């Protein structure tokens, strides 16, 4: 898997570009992890910072809109770290894009009471890694201890 500095996610909504843009710019008021940074009219994107208290580094999320017709819009989310970190697969970044997408859907539906940001969970591999390492370290200490005594 190649190293990358960004993750991109595309999805479609049944709303006009104007309504989607209003919803996106209103998101920082109901989703505290999102802060608006700037809007680039030449490149046609809006930049936000996604920052969770338990995260290692904040992430830039660039949002660009492509109107398909009067009632449909394609939204592209482009996530990258503020410090330019390189990664293979990043659960925090995938989770940030997923939370951003669900916030857009909640804002478009007008029902913000059901919106609850998700936190990335640990995979089974990560859960098993610590006990296995502890067992291997204990076995290694036993061999060293036996060698010193015997």
What percentage of the chain has pLDDT greater than the value 70?
A: 84
* Dist. CA 77–CA 104, nearest whole Å: 11
Task: Look at residue 77 in the predicted model and tell me its pLDDT.
Answer: 94
Tokens 């478009």 appear where?
Answer: 108
Does residue 129 share a domain with residue 84?
A: no
In a domain, 24, yes or no: yes
Asked, for residue 150, whether it belongs to a domain, the answer is yes
Where helices occur in the chain by DSSP H, the ranges are: 17-30, 91-109, 124-149
The count of other CB atoms within 10 Å of the CB of residue 78 is 17
Q: Which domain covers residue 135, as residue numbers?
A: 121-150
Whole-angstrom distance, CA of residue 22 vs CA of residue 13: 14
140 and 115 co-located in one domain: no
pLDDT at 125 over 70: no
Task: Say yes or no: 105 and 130 in one domain.
Answer: no
Is 1 within the bounds of a domain? Answer: no
Same domain, 112 and 132: no
For residue 124, pLDDT beyond 80:
no
What are 42-88's pLDDT values in tens digits?
888 999 998 876 666 788 999 999 999 989 999 999 988 888 777 77
pLDDT in tens, 97-107: 888 888 888 88
User: Which CATH number covers residue 71?
Assistant: 3.30.530.50
């Amino acid at each position: 898997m190649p190293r990358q500095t960004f993750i991109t996610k595309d999805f479609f909504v049944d709303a006009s570009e104007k309504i989607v843009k209003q919803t996106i710019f209103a998101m920082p008021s109901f989703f505290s992890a999102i802060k608006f940074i700037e809007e680039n009219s030449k490149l046609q994107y809006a930049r936000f910072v996604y920052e969770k208290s338990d995260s290692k580094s904040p992430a830039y999320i660039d949002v660009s809109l492509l109107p398909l017709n009067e009632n449909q819009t394609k939204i592209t989310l482009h996530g990258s770290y503020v410090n330019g970190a390189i990664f293979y697969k990043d659960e925090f970044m995938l989770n940030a894009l997923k939370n951003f997408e669900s916030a857009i859907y909640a804002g478009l539906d007008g029902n913000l009471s059901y919106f609850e940001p998700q936190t990335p969970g640990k995979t089974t591999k990560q859960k098993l890694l610590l006990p296995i390492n502890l067992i291997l370290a204990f076995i290694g200490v036993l061999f060293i201890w036996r060698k010193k005594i015997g």
